[in-house]
Structures are given as structure tokens and as C-alpha cells.
Amino acid sequence: MSDRVRAALAAALSADAVRAAEPHELVEPRGQWQGRAACVALPRSTAEVAAAVGVAARLRVPVVPYGGGTGLVGGQVMPDGVAPILLSLARMTAIRDVDPAGGTMTVEAGAILSDVQAAAAEAGRLFPLSLASEGSARIGGLLSTNAGGVNVLRYGTARELCLGVEAVLPDGSVMHGLRRLRKDNTGYDLRHLLIGAEGTLGVITAAVLRLYPRPARQGTALIAVRDPAAAVELLGRALAGEGVSAFELISGQGLRFLSETGVPVRQPFADPPAWSVLVELGLPEDADPDARLAAVFEAAVEDGLASDGVVAQSAAQRRDLWHLRETIPEANKRVGAIVSNDISLPIAAVPDFLTAADARIRAAGRFRINAFGHLGDGNLHYNVFPPEGVSKADIADRAADLREIVETEVAARAGSFSAEHGVGRLKVATLERYGDPARLAAMRAIKAALDPLGIMNPGAVLRAQGSGDAPAPQAVSR
């Protein structure tokens, strides 16, 4: 079968647009899934993507759209079933147009996020999507997972940064949606169906993205806070003024993991505080972000919310503070979590959630918890690690109980079990358990209507038809 698929693709595209999958394309960042592929298709144009999808439909072969391979829920790797075509967008990287006055840019789906940011900067504008994987993640993957990152508080998720989408639908037809309109009420907005669909409804081939003015002056501070409730109070105070672009929560456990695992960072505090927040302001030329951060900090100290802090005095110090935050996932990976959770909650519920979940987990054993993330938009990465000296493999059987604790505490506060990473293959069963039944039925009906052959990334988001059990959730670390 694989030979037939490769030959048909070579005929429809070109011989050099088809190759065998490389090992790194069949695993994901946490190494929990081993994918399979009949081959990798590397189209150069939307027409070639359509031709590749047409071949898949004709031969009834699954298609797994593939961007930078940085997804954290296994959406880009297909471990079982008929070996799929891995449809890579790596050759479709053009920045087709930048329109600073109109505040838009049009890019192909294979463009890497850091290149898109650089092209916007060159035109004097900001494309504000920013996350630690920005040197590898591609626009198609970022839109398909509706990626978040550190600036959601101010600019929104990938969905809010996208005005138009061009995509190849599962029957091989091209949906031409590269519109630059802020207002367009002409029926169902299929752009928003494709965004966040994780490659299950079609292949995004290009997009129109929103640009913003670049903040003229930036200020960054790391502030040690009394507890998560103080962090939430500080967030409210910071948001009383303009220009807060990021507000990240960091736990003492996260800082200790960085030291323990030897990740090279500059620790600003001699003793890691139990909780700290990384705050970033982006303001116009005539404002003074450092003075504002200092004022917020001093008032917080006076009111007993904060005890210590540093305001970056240079671009290098600012980078160091961000490096600290952005390397926490690497330290987590080295320690090895039993379970990791990408959750979101109403912001006011965060302190209570942390108290309740921590208490139940500590009652279950001497586990270590690293909760950190985008407090400004209510998104936490809540990861549970084995006790010191115990390996994750030795207590892997506790994963289901720990996950249950976190998920039930999240559900009790009307939160989400997947804030920014998506459902992929990792959380199919969780979606079935916590998803609203009417919404799930509508999702299945949409999938069946757009992809009646079930070829588009089967098993991601929704259980593949006739596949039995969803893939078992696995222990992951981030």
C-alpha cells in the first residue's frame, strides 16, 4: 500500500515532493508517542496540497497535517491504523504580503513563527503570538491548535490574531478565505472551525494575520509574592493601568528544578521564593514602564502582597528573566512528571484550585508539584512529579489517580482540561468525559459532514470511527 501511495503522490506532485519519514517526524516533544507514516508529502503550493489530499481520498489513506512537530498532545503523530501520509507544510514558507497600514500580513502555513515575527518587525509592526517553541512551530500548526503563549492577556490566542484562512478540505477542494476584513458577517465562519481543529477538518495552507503597533518601551519585573491570592490581587492592580502584555506565575518548585537539573539560568533570588510573578508592560514612547512597575511593586510590599523583586535594567536582564520562565519546561522534562496538565480556570478561582488540588495530591503521597504559567489569562501548567529519589517509572500506576484529582478540581470550578495545547490524541477520552454532550454530537456531525471518509487526522480530537478505545492518556512532562 505504501508503495502505491508514494507512486500516486509522486505522479500528482513530483518525485522530489515525496520521501520517507525521518525518525524525528514520528515522535513528539515528550517522546510518548511513536507515529507511523507511509511517506512524507512536501507540497510547494496550495494546488499541490489539494492534489495530495485528492490522492489520499482516492486511495482512502489518512492524512496527518504536519507543521513544526512541536504539538504537545500527539496530534501530529498517528501511532496506529493504516500508515498515513504525513503532509508537511515545510516548503510553503512564503510571507506573501505585509500591509502595515492595514495591519495585516498574509503568510503561507509553513512559515515559522519567529520568521513571521521578524517580518512584522521589519515593517515596524508586531505579530504578538509568542511561545517557547516559536523557532520551530509553523503558522498552520499554531492556528490548528489555536496556540496561546505569553501575550494572550493583551492580544488573544492565535484565533484572535487571524482574519482569514485558506485551506484544503478533505475532499481536495480549496476554501479561499484569505480575506483581510474586520467585518464579514456572511454566514458560518469556517475559519473558526478550522482554527483549533488540529488538522481533523482540513489542511490550512495560508492565513491572513493581524498586526499591532510595536510598544515603544518595555518593562519587565520579577516579583516575589506572598501566595497565589496575592498574585491575583497584583494582576488586578497591574491591569488597572494600560499595557500589561504578560503576567506569568512561577513556583519555587520550578526555580528549584532549574537549579537541580543544571539548566543554565541566572537565578535572581538567593533563595527561590515560594511564588513569584513575571510581569511585562509594553507602553508608548512618552510612558515610563519601569517607574510604573516600581510603583506597583512598592505598593504591593506596603500591603503585604510582595516581599522582593527585580526590575530589568537592560535588554539583557529582560532576556534573562524571560529565559528563566521559558526554560522551566526543559527542567520539568529532565525531572520527569508523572502527569502534566494544561488547564485554565476563571482567574479568581486559581488560588482556591491550587489549595484544594495541592492538598489532595499531598494527601495521596510525597509528590512534588510545579504549577506555573499564564496566570494573566487563567492558564496554568499543573505538573505532578515523583517524590525525590523515586523514578517516574516506579510510580507510573499512580498517574490515573493524580490526573483524576486535577481534572475533577478543574471541572468543579468550571475550568478547562486543555487550555492551549489542544486535545490531540492525548485527551480524546477526557473530552468524551467532560465535554458537553450536545457540543460533542455537533462536533461529530461536523466531522462526518466535512470528512465523510474519515481520512483527515483520524483519532485526533474525536475517536476514529470503529476504533474502539481512545488512546490511553500517558504520563508526560512539561
Ligand X SMILES: Cc1cc2nc3c(=O)[nH]c(=O)nc-3n(C[C@H](O)[C@H](O)[C@H](O)COP(=O)(O)OP(=O)(O)OC[C@H]3O[C@@H](n4cnc5c(N)ncnc54)[C@H](O)[C@@H]3O)c2cc1C
Which residue's CB is nearer to ligand X, number 227 or number 330? 330
- The closest of 48, 92, 78 to 207, measured between CA atoms, is 92
Residue 109, CB-side half-sphere exposure with 13 Å CA sphere:
32
Element (DSSP H or E) covering residue 6: helix 2-12
Residue 199 in contact with residue 65, Cβ under 8 Å? yes
Residue 364, φ and ψ in degrees, nearest 5? -85, -15
Question: Does residue 254 bind ligand X (CB under 6 A)?
Answer: no
Amino acid in position 13: L
Which residue's CB is nearer to ligand X, number 68 or number 254? 68
Number of other CB atoms surrounding residue 428 within 10 Å: 24
Question: Does residue 76 bind ligand X (CB under 6 A)?
Answer: yes
Distance from C-alpha of 453 to C-alpha of 38, rounded to nearest angstrom = 18
**Contact residue for ligand X among 329, 376, 454, 471 (CB under 6 A):** 329
Q: Taking the complex as a whole, how short is the minimal distance between the CB of residue 318 and ligand X, in angstroms?
A: 18
**Contact residue for ligand X among 13, 55, 61, 66 (CB under 6 A):** 66
Which residue's CB is nearer to ligand X, number 131 or number 234? 131
Question: Does residue 460 bind ligand X (CB under 6 A)?
Answer: yes
Scanning 4-12, 72-80, 176-184, 468-476 for contacts with ligand X by CB under 6 A, the matching segment is 72-80
SS3 166: strand
Residue 278 in contact with residue 220, Cβ under 8 Å? yes
Residue 50, CB-side half-sphere exposure with 13 Å CA sphere:
12
User: Pairing relation of β-strands 39-41 and 85-88?
Assistant: parallel
Question: Angle at the Cα of 144 (from 143 to 145), degrees rounded to 5?
Answer: 90
Number of helices (H), then strands (E), belonging to the chain: the values are 15, 18
Q: Taking the complex as a whole, how short is the minimal distance between the CB of residue 50 and ligand X, in angstroms?
A: 13
- The three grid cell numbers given for residue 430, joined into one nine-digit string: 477526557
Q: Taking the complex as a whole, how short is the minimal distance between the CB of residue 190 and ligand X, in angstroms?
A: 13
Question: Does residue 276 bind ligand X (CB under 6 A)?
Answer: no
Which residue's CB is nearer to ligand X, number 199 or number 458? 199
Question: Does residue 164 bind ligand X (CB under 6 A)?
Answer: no
Distance from C-alpha of 90 to C-alpha of 74, rounded to nearest angstrom = 19
Question: Does residue 268 bind ligand X (CB under 6 A)?
Answer: no
**Contact residue for ligand X among 35, 68, 164, 228 (CB under 6 A):** 68
- The closest of 107, 152, 110, 102 to 128, measured between CA atoms, is 152
DSSP 130: B
Sign of the C-alpha dihedral computed for residues 166, 146, 215 and 238 taken in this order: positive
Q: Taking the complex as a whole, how short is the minimal distance between the CB of residue 343 and ligand X, in angstroms?
A: 13
Question: Does residue 75 bind ligand X (CB under 6 A)?
Answer: yes
Which residue's CB is nearer to ligand X, number 67 or number 289? 67
Q: Taking the complex as a whole, how short is the minimal distance between the CB of residue 66 and ligand X, in angstroms?
A: 5
* Residue 20, CA distances (Å) to 23, 37, 40, 45 in order: 9, 8, 6, 20
Residue 464, CB-side half-sphere exposure with 13 Å CA sphere:
19
What secondary structure, in 3-state letters, does 368-423 show? EEEEEEEHHHCEEEEEEECCCCCCHHHHHHHHHHHHHHHHHHHHHCCCECECCCCC
Q: Taking the complex as a whole, how short is the minimal distance between the CB of residue 195 and ligand X, in angstroms?
A: 9
Question: Does residue 339 bind ligand X (CB under 6 A)?
Answer: no
Question: Does residue 232 bind ligand X (CB under 6 A)?
Answer: no
Q: Taking the complex as a whole, how short is the minimal distance between the CB of residue 88 and ligand X, in angstroms?
A: 8
Amino acid in position 41: A
**Contact residue for ligand X among 6, 36, 421, 447 (CB under 6 A):** 421
Q: Taking the complex as a whole, how short is the minimal distance between the CB of residue 299 and ligand X, in angstroms?
A: 30
Which residue's CB is nearer to ligand X, number 168 or number 306? 168
Which residue's CB is nearer to ligand X, number 9 or number 476? 476
Total residues contacting ligand X by CB under 6 A comes to 37
Q: Taking the complex as a whole, how short is the minimal distance between the CB of residue 418 and ligand X, in angstroms?
A: 10
Residue 451 in contact with residue 201, Cβ under 8 Å? yes
Q: Taking the complex as a whole, how short is the minimal distance between the CB of residue 49 and ligand X, in angstroms?
A: 8
String of contacts with ligand X for each residue 195-214, x by CB under 6 A: ---xx---xx----------
Between residue 8 and residue 37, which ones bind ligand X under the rule CB under 6 A? 29
Q: Taking the complex as a whole, how short is the minimal distance between the CB of residue 30 and ligand X, in angstroms?
A: 8
Residue 75, φ and ψ in degrees, nearest 5? -65, -30
Between residue 115 and residue 154, which ones bind ligand X under the rule CB under 6 A? 131-133, 137-138, 140-142, 144-145, 147-149
Question: Does residue 458 bind ligand X (CB under 6 A)?
Answer: no
Which residue's CB is nearer to ligand X, number 226 or number 425? 425
Q: Taking the complex as a whole, how short is the minimal distance between the CB of residue 381 and ligand X, in angstroms?
A: 9
Residues that bind ligand X in the complex, under the rule CB under 6 A: 29, 64-72, 75-76, 89, 109, 131-133, 137-138, 140-142, 144-145, 147-149, 198-199, 203-204, 329, 420-421, 424, 457, 460
